[in-house]
Structure 1
Amino acid sequence: MLLQGSPGQPRAGPSTLSDNNTSSNNLKRKAHTTLQDLEDSLSRKKIKGEVEDIVEAPETEVIDGQALADELDQELQCGCCSALVYRPVVVAPCQHFFCGSCIVLWVRNGGTNCPACRGISTSVTSSRALQTIADVLVRGAPSRARSVSERMQADEIYKAGTTLRIPTPRQASPEPNIPQTNPNFVQPCPHCLPGNQYDWRCPQPIVDPEVDPDNGWRTDDGSPPGHAYCGNCENILALRAPSTTKCDFCQVSFCGIGIPGRCLAAPLISQHLHGLADIGDLIQCGEIYEIFDGNTYEVDVMLDYLQAQSLSPRHIYREIIGMILRSPRQFAPLIESDLFVDVHGVTPGSATDPSAPRHRICRMCATEVLLWGLREWWIQERKKGFLDETITRRPDCAQGSICTRQKEHGR
């Protein structure tokens, strides 16, 4: 009977297995001496090379603390205010980061996407990691910290740790039956069409290019006779319409229809400012530091004073208007310096005499007046005696705006 063996061969017994094992052991030869020596040699060379690499590796470069602080300061700048980020938040999914207060103001002003890349946002969350790095930087370089007034104002706008949401843009789709206008022709203004709702019609109405394309006014030919473009909404308007007003500074007209209250050149004292509604807007306005020649210390003193006295930008603007009106030449120096040139994206009207009376002003020009007179206003305001003695006793440097020490905190 054959069991588990080769055909025709008997099953191996114990002695046979033992003999086979012995033979097998005898068949297992050691590696060739040359090959073994080669492997040992390669191993020794590898170890020697690694040791040499360690020995020859250059010493770790010493990091310059000032250079590191400068680089961190650049990397941690808010994408909105371009200052060291405060109470940072991260926009998802693009991962751009900003001050929490900057994002809140962005949303309040109508922002519907990431301020940096304009991407659609799904959420805005606070970043503890970025805040920790910023805190470490400030501890090592206290001069890079945001001012007390800035931090107080920012904390009033955004509470640390709050999750925000940027609203998605709403784009209304036009109805299918609405005819698409030809961009090559100027469309009639609200007062051109007969029987319009404003009870006044243009003496020189613009021809509707959809009705009479041969006599339509081409956009390449500029503004049609008796018409211009609104400085705010940039829609076509009738210059002689009762709702139209003209700024006596930039010579741009406003329709009074597109956005009521904004498409308007108002009397000097009653006009609002563009982009400067409260002290928070002044804090975010980088031009203020340019006005004071980069003297951040003086700017901080002024902002703290404005907050303590509850003075709004509009209040300051009105006082600056009063200062100008009391001066001998009034607004002539501002006009001669071309302060109001190209403040709007539309073509202005004809220029007038620099010494001509100025009664109406637009929002953009009102902001220009505020920024132009802010420094002189502050100099006069300091003399009223409301500032702390530690500030009033601080001597002014004889070098004036070119002084560098005067711009340091505590000096």
Structure 2
Amino acid sequence: MPAEEICKKQLQIVLDPEHTKCSICLSVWHDVVTVAPCLHNFCNGCFSEWLKQCQEKHSSILCPQCRAVVQFVGRNHFLHNIEEDILQADSTLRRSSEDIVLLDSHASIKSPLVISSGRKFSRKRARAPPDEENAPCPQCGNEYAGFQCNQSTIHLQCQTCGGMMPSRSNASVPQHCLGCDRAFCGAYWHSLGVTGTDIHPVCSREILKPITERSVSRIPFLVHEKNRHEQDITEKCLRQMGRSLQDVLSEWVTKMNNREIGKTRLPLNHSEMINPQTYVCNECYDKLVSFLLYWFRVTLPKHYLPPEALQRQDCWYGSACRTQHHNEEHARKRNHVCRPTRGGAHM
């Protein structure tokens, strides 16, 4: 058989929907999460409620299906795709919109959770015990701000330093970036006055903080789809206007908060909830800056543009153009900070 025909063949796998059902609600998974080490799967909302009940009872976290001790739980994006394929193939398996809203309201698993081993710590101690390196986080054995981990405490792993912190819905500061749902520990430990050690790393507070507390002096690499020619033009526009990058961003954050611009193009999770006080990570802040500078450029009066920019024609595909990423001449000769006039993008 010719190689071309072999490449075109598709692998079809028959999957019984019964094997894709949550053993708690007995329906096809919704926003599926997987627990370890047993690797059973549940709806995010269902397992989140199970976790909540176990924590309230201060009991060990056992798998609802096989009763194995759970050490880890996280969202399973691969199975989520299978979940969607099954529901598309058989619409009778879909839940009602009311059920989905209810499940989503219960879902609390945003980033991977590490479950404590169950080992208890003494509340009263003058110095760290010899086996402190086995403690998941500084609050496993020490009380800060009236809280100390116990045998049923769920832990989050920081996406920057890899350190652990207790998962607390009532913490004084957020533990997750609202833009990507990933966990970062710097803001949490800083609010408690905890510093990092070799045993318990703590990342910088600068990693996760409110939008209003952030400042930027240079255009991030992500801006204008990484097109350096468009970035140079934006810098020239700022100089022509006599304004700083930070001044412009502050103005457009206010415009966004006042709904003077829509958020549909904002490439962040929970975009409608984003406001100046929202805690976001560095990467998500760069995405926000890119979004705001796009609107700054498309609404900018043309007399602020440098002569070389005024002579260019708009690219049909606008900022969605793919050719600008691998064709230097096209990236330079066409304006890509514009609304697309054709569907789809260049290859």
Specify the TM-score bucket, using the shorter chain as the normaliser. 0.3 to 0.5
TM-score by length of 1: 0.35
Structure with the greater alpha carbon radius of gyration = 1
User: What is the TM-score of this pair, normalised by structure 2?
Assistant: 0.40
